Amino acid sequence: MSGLLKIGELAKQTGLSVRTLHYYDEIQLLVPSHRSESDHRLYSDRDIIRLQQILSLRQLGFSLSEIRNCLERPGYSLPQVIELHRHRLHEQISLSHTLLNRLNSIVKELETTQSVAVGNLIQTMETITMTTQYFTPEQQKVLDYRLREGEEEWQKILNGIRTEMNRNSALNSPSVRMLARRWLWSMKSFVQGDGEIYESLIKMYQREGNIATDWGMDSAAFDYILRAIFSMALGDVTNAAIPRHKIFTAQTQEVVRLGEIPIREINFDILGTECALLGILAEGKSIAARALTSVGVSYERVHPIVIKWLGTRPAPPEGTFPPTLPFAPRMKRVIELALDEAKQQEKSQIAPEHLLLAILEEYKEAPAPGGVATYILREELNMDLQALEQCLRVEIDSQSH
């Protein structure tokens, strides 16, 4: 067994810690081929080749589970890994040159005009976020696309923040709350549920400070929107603590109860706009239900579509579901709008028709319009949402006279 390396020797030669090598062994990513009589790990040349592949793939940004999948793939060889690594390094060098050129352009612009165009700042932001200090090349390509796709929306949000600041608008005002939600929607669209990108963004923020400054947003504007988000979140928590019987009529409480039943049946633990739509149709007696029925929308048509789009989650452990399911963020916004609708009609509580009007109103204001309810009505059932709103308002007016 000459030529075998003990774990301490391998750690010293590679710069890895013994603890890391132990962990690789525990998760069976790098299991040493041999053991000594005293059960010490011994690594062969073949093990060292596998370790080289692991380290190269790690530097390329692969997760440990992805690395295992790669190495278990037939025909995946060390030369392939090294060639891929070389290709990525060339990309990184190219990105660094691009960033340097853009920074040089901004310096020249500052020297001549004492200001910088927002477009140039956004371009520089794109390159900064693409640098490999925080993101893998694959993530950089994804971020480049998303930044370009969302450039117009970011600029609108920034302009809106400055407008509200100049007006000295209260953080809990409807216009500022909407800005805060647009910011969060845009961030959600930017991250799109990618946990690794989110972690990299957090690391960059922690190490580099106020990254929004690189986005053309001064620290005062950034602080304003963060305080608005906090105020909105605090309001959501407060609203969640209010008993539903205080903000909903008895009929609306029944709508929510009936809508929650099919959501629980597919093991979902949060109530979105689809819950309200199903509940209105299941209850069947409200003004909202009559308006939906008049255009051919029924519980029997909507229920299977909701199941199709949400799917069915695995059953949770017994006793883990809360007795009352919370509302999703979009549904909370609908409730805000429904309260506004009720107040405009001089009502103190939300009726089912206010909920349906709010669902249709929320569809208009969101950067990525609407929730599951409006998607089903518009895309699956080919409903004209504007005509539905007019029909609903006619029903409401007829009841009030």
What pLDDT does residue 228 have?
82
Give the separation between CA 325 and CA 313, rounded to whole angstroms. Answer: 15
What pLDDT does residue 123 have?
47
What are the tokens at 43?
Answer: 């690594």
Decide yes or no: CATH 3.40.630.30 for domain 5-76.
no
Domain with CATH 1.10.1780.10 in the chain: 244-400
Which of 92, 205, 187, 80 lies closest to 143 in space, CA to CA? 187
Give the separation between CA 361 and CA 77, rounded to whole angstroms. Answer: 56
What pLDDT does residue 201 have?
61
Ramachandran assignment for 234, one of left (phi > 0), alpha (psi -120 to 50 degrees), beta (any other): alpha
Do residues 262 and 327 lie in contact, with contact meaning Cβ atoms separated by under 8 Å? no
What class has domain 244-400? mainly alpha
How confident is the chain (401 residues) per 10-residue block, as mean pLDDT?
79 80 85 87 88 77 72 68 65 59 59 52 44 58 65 78 85 74 70 61 52 55 77 57 76 95 87 94 94 93 90 68 76 87 89 94 69 89 90 81 56
DSSP secondary structure, 91-132, as one string: HHHHHHHHHHHHHHHHHHHHHHHSS--HHHHHHHHHHHHHST
Domain with CATH 1.10.1660.10 in the chain: 5-76
Round to the nearest angstrom and report the end-to-end CA distance of the chain: 96
The dihedral sign for the CA sequence 376, 381, 384, 389: negative
What pLDDT does residue 120 have?
47
Which of 182, 186, 199 lies closest to 149 in space, CA to CA? 186
Do residues 197 and 136 lie in contact, with contact meaning Cβ atoms separated by under 8 Å? no
Which of 361, 327, 330 lies closest to 344 in space, CA to CA? 361
What pLDDT does residue 234 have?
57
Give pTM, 2 decimals: 0.45
DSSP, res 296: T
Give the separation between CA 316 and CA 89, rounded to whole angstroms. Answer: 45
What are the tokens at 396?
Answer: 């409401």
